[in-house]
Amino acid sequence: MAILVILGSLVGLFTAALPAQADTQICDQYGSTTIQGRYVVQNNRWGTSETQCINVTSSGFSLTTANGSVATNGAPKSYPSIYNGCHYGNCSPGTNLPKQLSTIGSASTSASFGYVSNAVYDASFDIWLDSTAKTTGVNQTEIMIWFNHVGSVQPVGSQSGTATVGGRSWQVWTGNNGANNVISFVAPSAINSYSFNVKDFTASAVSHGLATNSWYLTSVQAGFEPWQNGAGLAVNSFSSSVS
């Protein structure tokens, strides 16, 4: 018994001495890492040659450097983000995506964002659908949920109406960016945090003729599309579970 007590004390001392996990800094154009053993965080600087860096924490990430700017009437300069699923062949640990829409009972998702005022950007979810269980390249339909946007930027296409989805009211935009169809749900005012079922939004995409229930959900992503600057933007927390 005495030996067990001593061993227990030693284990307690050893555990207490372990240092906290350090944040991860990523400046590589397409650099990524994993957190919580289940999500991928990616820098994803695809639209500019200027420096962009993210600081990855145990619960999300923040933009620490976001140099340069691009025209606000075109594509953004990047999409730093955190996701569950597969993106260009990089699948998050243990994910069950891609998964056919008709087999999904629920896709519970949440995120909390931190904003800045000295940049032009949108804070958004990217939800990708494809007619096949595709894990590489561009998918056929992109669902965007704009939590917030600052500056003279707008979604792909044009506004086609309004809708109540996931218990909230949205402007609905539809269009094509030359590579895939896009349906965007734009909040009329900034949302700092939101918990929702992705299936509510995939059902809307189906009703707009942009997918069918035989299609696959390939990834659920939360992040930012900056056009100008962006340092200080943060995804403070993120969760995604598909059952």
Catalytic residues: 142, 225
Element (H, E) at 2: helix 2-17
Number of Cα atoms under 13 Å in the Cβ half of residue 87: 27
Strands 32-35 and 216-228: unpaired
* Distant-in-sequence, close-in-space partners of 141: CB < 8 Å, separation ≥ 6: 128, 129, 130, 180, 181, 182, 183, 205, 210, 211, 215
DSSP secondary structure of 94-107: T---SEEGGG-S-E
Amino acid at 5: V
Give the N- to C-terminal CA distance of the chain in Å, as an integer.
45
**Reduced to 3 states, what is the DSSP secondary structure of residue 206?**
helix
Amino acid at 148: N
